[in-house]
Amino acid sequence: MRKLVLTAVLAAAGLFGLPALAADFQAGKEYDVLSSPVQVAEPGKIEVVELFWYGCPHCYQFEPVINPWVEKLPEDVVFKRIPAMFGGVWNTHGQLFITLESMGVEKQVHDAVFAAYHQERKKLATPEEMAEFLAGQGVDKDAFLKAFNSFGVKSRVEQAKKLGMAYQITGVPVLIVNGKYRFDLGSAGGPQRTLEVADFLIEKERTAR
């Protein structure tokens, strides 16, 4: 299985290290500049992408940190989640997320899916297992299975795979700002500093307009 970006050592650094000033954030240190920028979905906005996996414990722990930040983003910033696709169950869970998005119920059940995996030990490894769980969250089983196997969802899965490759990611959670800058909890120095790096790069892009 692919490595997760946050190790115990990095977690300790995030807890005990001194916070960096925004002026100290440097390319090649807290964040990387992509050699080939990726086109954003809404050119008129500053785009922030989070790549994640439902099975990643650090993604799960990052949720209560990033969600309040997302809710306060200004109007010129758009946030989107993209599932990381590294094969096997990563792809299955990625297809789950994309299916929920396509049905318009992702916001309703996203937290419940995370909790099911990490608290209730539900692996959600098959469409049938997913449908059974989601039925308890008010999602129609047949509608879910139909959407999960639809051409539209499978096309979006392929798009997510291509984006993950274009962003050159090796683990999750990882953030991408405006298709140009990549950083994660390890490079930034912890969850809160990750958001500080994001704010810094958002302002950098805003100023460059």
Alpha helices in 55-190 (DSSP H): 57-71, 89-103, 106-118, 127-135, 141-148, 151-166, 185-188
Q: What is the pTM of this model?
A: 0.89
Show pLDDT as tens, one digit a residue, over the chain (209 residues).
444 444 433 444 444 344 455 558 999 999 999 999 999 999 999 999 999 999 999 999 999 999 999 999 999 999 999 999 999 999 999 999 999 999 999 999 999 999 999 999 999 999 999 999 999 999 999 999 999 999 999 999 999 999 999 999 999 999 999 999 999 999 999 999 999 999 999 999 999 98
In terms of Cα–Cα distance, which of 54, 45, 52, 144 is closest to 101? 144
Q: What is the CA radius of gyration of the chain?
A: 17
Residue 145 pLDDT: 98
Q: Is residue 174 helix, strand or coil?
A: strand
Instruction: Report d(CA 131, CA 144) in Å as an integer.
Output: 6
Terminal CA-to-CA distance of the chain, rounded, Å? 40
pLDDT of residue 24: 80
**Domains identified in the chain and CATH numbers:** 24-208 (3.40.30.10)
The candidate with the shortest Cα–Cα distance to 45, out of 97, 82, 80, 81, is 80
pLDDT on residue 14: 43
Q: Backbone phi, then psi, for 187, in 5-degree steps?
A: -70, -35
pLDDT at position 13, please? 42
